[in-house]
Structures are given as structure tokens and as C-alpha cells.
Amino acid sequence: MQHCPAVLVAAPASGQGKTTVACALARLHARAGRRVRAFKCGPDFLDPHWLALATGHPVHNLDLWMTGEDDARARLHAAASEADLIIVEGVMGLFDGEPSAADLAQRFSLPVLAVIDASAMAGTFGALAFGLQHFRPGLPWAGVLANRVASERHAQMLQDALSGEGSRTDSNLLGAVMRNEAFSLPERHLGLTVASEIPDALARLDAAADALAATPLGRMDAAALARWSVSFEPTVEIPAQAPLLAGRTIAIARDASFCFVYPANLDVLRGLGAELAFFSPLADEALPSCDAVWLPGGYPELHATTLAGSTVCRASLIEHVNAGGPLWAECGGMMLLFDELLTLDGETHAMWGLLPGSVTMQKRLTALGPQRLTLPAGALRGHTFHYSRCVSTLEPVCRTEPARAGASGAGEAVFRSGSVHASYFHAWFASNPEATASLFLSGDTD
């Protein structure tokens, strides 16, 4: 059994500022010399970039369905053995999703810190805090933080809403953070802008940490953090992975256009025995010497002009495929492979032509949710999340299945052309290492 202070930073809805607060809390304690480890609830790729910047360590995802309870338990136990504080950022609203952040908090006894955007409320702040704390009996509770507060007078009104005459709540106000653009985190479609693309990203986190330092939450020392101490059970023994990819090198696209990579997925590939080599399509780098290629998701639509001109990289990828080399492309990686990409500004960009058809960006989200891909080697868990549609003459060789029983939709198409397999599906490799290996081995994975 390992013991460590831990907190799950949640909110009543998306957009309340929980990523900023989670990062500020992590940065504040990391600056004080404490060892901080952070996790992200759910399948999100973007928030972990900011949490990693705040902590200086890789950030893994926790999801009771996609990553699984045993995986989450193992990661939390390992973090507790080396950390002074564990911070888990929630997903959407506290009770949203199946499973939700609240489910994760209850399963691992993580105290919940509720971040509420109080910019447009006063007395209702107390009702909202009370509801979050008491909606589900037995929910571990750390307290509530008022975010984007207008003034000291506004902060007092929020305090009164919690502790004034007639108040029914004991929600434990841990402070009020004033509205300040100095530590806002920029957004675009799919979520936050990747931290590495923002020149002053660390300065923004430092500004947020400074603001948090003025609150009771920010003034918590080691003794105060001990009130959040959680006992993390040792994990069940996980069988060693067979080295199914031993002696093979997998080339992985990695740059601003292809940045949706779970650190855990890289760990799985290494655990399977693979050597990893990275290349940048945006820099028009030729493929390194390799046996298989992975094109992960990202933002090809933001870099379509540059990618259209990446002739060296395109030629080396075509050569690899023509030689029968396996290629697994997911979401943004798949978009690169079609004949053309139509962006929202009406521009049509020639893509790399390894798959027949076109991709058109949409103004609204076209697919979202947990998915399962069943291959002959087993089932992979993962998710889908995209703002584009593709049209192709290829018939799908199979489709993913929504994780939730009764969910609408036919799942995501999986396309095959020669040694290319591609889908909007984002896979969590640790859910089935054997099935993962089959994506990067020669032969039919259908």
C-alpha cells in the first residue's frame, strides 16, 4: 500500500477553468520543490501537454473503461511511490460521461476539488457547490474554488453564499481566483492549443500559480496536504508482454501536425520490443529506416499547405507502402493519406494520395465517444473525436463499435489499401498489446 496526498480537480461543466487550476496547483508545488505527478481523466490528448509542462513529467490518462481499472490502479500506485502530490484533472462536468470523473474519484477515494466559473453568479454559487458535493452520497470532497471572480466584493458575495445566514452548505471554499487574461490558456477546435505552440506557455502557468498562491488552496503546505492523503492499493501482477515486435523499428510521425500520442502507447511499443524512430512530415523529412509506420492524430488541417509540399516525406512513405511495409494511420494521420483536404476557408489542398477520396472539415463535431476495434488478434479500446468527414470509394474492411450499449451510429470505418490500415479511431495500445502488435506486422489484420 502506498500513501500520498491526491486531489481530483473537477467542475460542473467544460470551460470552467479546471485545466488552468490543475496546472497552477501542480506548478505551484513543483516550484516549491515537491514531486508532483499529474493524470488526465478520460481520453484527452491536449490537456496532458499543459500538465506535463507544469510538472516536468509525462502525463498519463485514467479512464475506467478505456484504460481500465487495473491500469489506472497500477499508474496511481506507481505515482504514489515517488510523489509528494498527485493531481488528477477531471473531464467535462464532474458527473458527465460513462464512466465519469466522479466514478474515478469514488473508485480510488480521490478528494474532489470543484472549480466553478463564478463570473456570472453570486448566491447561486452556494447552490451549485452544494449540489456537486452532495449529488452523489459518499463522494470524497476537498473543497470548492471560485474562478474568474470579478472583485474582492464579488469574492465576499461568493463566500456569503457558502457560509452566510441560511446557507446549507459545508463545501469548504478554498479561495477565489480573479479573472486575468495573463493566465488564460488559448483554445481552438478539439480543445486547448498545444502548450509547445505557445511561446509564453510556462509564463502563463507561472502567472496562474502566482494567483493561486494568494488563496487558501495555494497556501496549503505539506501538513495541510496530508489531509488529502489517499491509500493506493498495489496492482495485480500484469503478465510480461511477449516481444512480438522485437527487432522491428517503427517510424512515428511527431510534430505540430501529428501530436496526438499517448505516452503510454509509446511505452507499449517499447515493451513489445520495438525500436522507435521519429520523423516530421512538416519538416519534409524522409522516413527513417523502419519496418512499420504509425501516423497518429493531430492537426493536418492547420498545416495543409506545408504538408501538400512535403514531397520528400510523401515519396518515402509511398516507397515504404509499395514495398509492403505496414502503415497504421489514425484520425489526422488518415486525413493526410487521402487525395485532398477541404478546409473551412474553402481551400482545397492536395494530400498524399495513398487512399482514394477526400476529407472535408466541418464546423461542428462529427463524432465523439469511446469505441472498440475488434481485430483477429483481439479487441482494442479507444475513442473517436473529430471535426471532419471523409468520402472514399474504398469499402471499409470493418468498423469499430461504440462502447456504450445502445449508442447510435455505425462506428468508425477502418479502411485498407495494400499494407495501409486507417481509421478515425484512436487506439489505447495498452488495452491489448497483442492486437497492437498486429497493426505493425506484415499480413492481414482484418
286 forms beta bridges with none
Q: Is 290 a catalytic residue?
A: no
Chain center to CA of 343:
24
Please count the other Cβ atoms lying within 10 Å of the Cβ belonging to residue 243. Answer: 13
Catalytic site residue from 313, 331, 390, 398: 331
Segments of 162-300 assigned E as strands? 173-178, 187-188, 191-192, 229-232, 249-253, 275-279, 292-295
CB 138 within 8 A of CB 169: no
CA dist., res. 273 & res. 269, Å (int): 7
Under DSSP, is residue 135 helix (H, G, I), strand (E, B) or coil?
Answer: coil
Pairing of strands 112-117, 141-149: parallel
Q: Supply 45's cell numbers.
A: 490528448
Using N-to-C axis directions, what is the helix angle for 201-213 and 47-55, rounded to 10°?
A: 70
- The sign of the dihedral angle between the CA atoms of 130, 134, 136, 140 is positive
Distance of CA 147 to the CA centre of its chain: 23
Q: How far apart are the first and last CA of the chain?
A: 42
Length in residues, the chain: 446
Those residues with Cβ within 8 angstroms of residue 240's Cβ, 6 or more apart along the chain or in another chain: none
User: Alpha-carbon distance 43 to 322, whole Å?
Assistant: 34
Residues carrying an active site annotation = 331
